[in-house]
Amino acid sequence: MNLVSLVMPFGVFVALLAAVGLYCLIVTRDMLRVILALEVITKAVTLLLIVGGLVSGHMALAQAFVITLIVIEVVVIVAAAGIVIAVYKHTGTLDIRRLRNLKG
């Protein structure tokens, strides 16, 4: 049993996690939940980075990446939340179907 087959379960879980996030991203009608879905996908990717480091034996590098990723992630979430709140102030709802003024 080598290292690669040992980390295979991680790979499967990453895929499942990402699938959950993507599914939610597409079907949800709540703008804040869109952000949550993005977060779930981010979790999957974080895990994948760690697993990648584990497999290749570059754990320190992977950790460095994950730390950077987490910092950036926070900023993205803040920006997204800011936009959602501003939209809410305009429309009084979080329904994503209200974001269809621009079309055609």
Partner 1 sequence: MDPTFLKQQLLMNIILMGAMLLGALATVMLRQLVKAAIALAFTSVVLCVVMFKLNAPWAAVFELSVCAGLITVVFISAVSLVKPATEEERAAHIRFKTRRYFLLPLVLLLVGVGLSYVTGQPLPLPAAEPAGTELRSLLWGPRALDLLGQVLVLLAGVWGVVMLFKEEK
Partner 2 sequence: MPSLLVILPLLAVLLLNLPLNFLRRLALPAALLLALYQAAFALGVLPACCAGCPTQERWFLNALDPLTSVLLLAIAIVAFVSVFVLRATAGEERREFNMLNLVFLAVAGMNGLVLVRDLFSLYVFLELASIASFILIAAHREMGGLEGAFKYLVMSALATMMMLASIALLLALSGSTSFGAVAEALQAHARHGYVLTALGLFLGGLLIKSGVMPFHGWLPDAYSAAPAAVSTLLAGIVTKVTGVYALIRLVLDVFGFTPATQQLLLIFGAISVVAGALAALGQSDMKRMLAYSSISQVGYILLGLATGTGLGIAAAVFHLFNHAIFKTLLFVNAAAVEKQTGTRDMNQLGGLAQKMPITGVTSLLAMFSTAGVPPLAGFWSKLLIIAALWLSGFHGYALLGIGASLLTLAYFLSLQRRVFFGLVRAGCENVREAGWALTLPSLLLAAILVGVGLALPWLIGTFLLPVKGF
Partner 3 sequence: MTNNLMYFAILLPAVISLLAFATRKMGKVCAATALLGAVVNLVVAIKLFGQTAAVHVPWTSWGLDFTLRLYSFSGFIVLAAAGFALAITLYSLPFMAKREHSGLFYFQLLLSVAFANGAALADNLILLLFFWEGLLITLYGLIAIGRPGAWKSAMKALVLVGVSDVCMMFGIALAGHFAGTMQISKMHLVLTETGPTLAFLFLIIGATAKAGALPFHSWIPDAAEDAPLPFMALMPAAFEKLLGIYFLARITLDMFALTPGSWCSTLLMTLGAITILVAVMMALIQKDYKRLLAYHAISQVGYMILGIGTAVPAGIVGGLFHMINHALYKSGLFLSGGSVERQTGTTDLSKLGGLARQMPITFFCFFVTACSISGVPPFNGFISKELIYDGALERGGIFYAAALLGSFLTAASFLKLGHSAYFGKVSEANKNVKEAPWAMLVPMLTIAGFCILFGVYNQLPLHKLIQPVLGEHRLEGHDYAGWHFNIMLVVGTLVVLALALLNHFIGVKRSGSGIGAADHIHYAPGLHQAYDAAEKGWFDPYELGLTLARGVGRVTWGVDRFINWVSDGLAVGVTAMFSYLVRSFHTGSLPIYLWWAIAGVALVIILLVKVN
28 versus 55: smaller Cβ distance to partner 3: 28
Q: Is 90 in the site for partner 3 (CB under 8 A)?
A: no
Q: Long-range contacts made by residues 50-56, C-beta under 8 angstroms, separation at least 24?
A: 51/7, 51/10, 51/11, 51/14, 54/3, 54/7, 55/3, 55/4, 55/7
* Residues binding partner 1 (CB under 8 A): 1-7, 9-13, 15-17, 19-21, 23-24, 27-30, 32-33, 35-37, 39-40, 43, 46-47, 50-51, 53-68, 70-75, 77-79, 81-86, 88, 92, 94
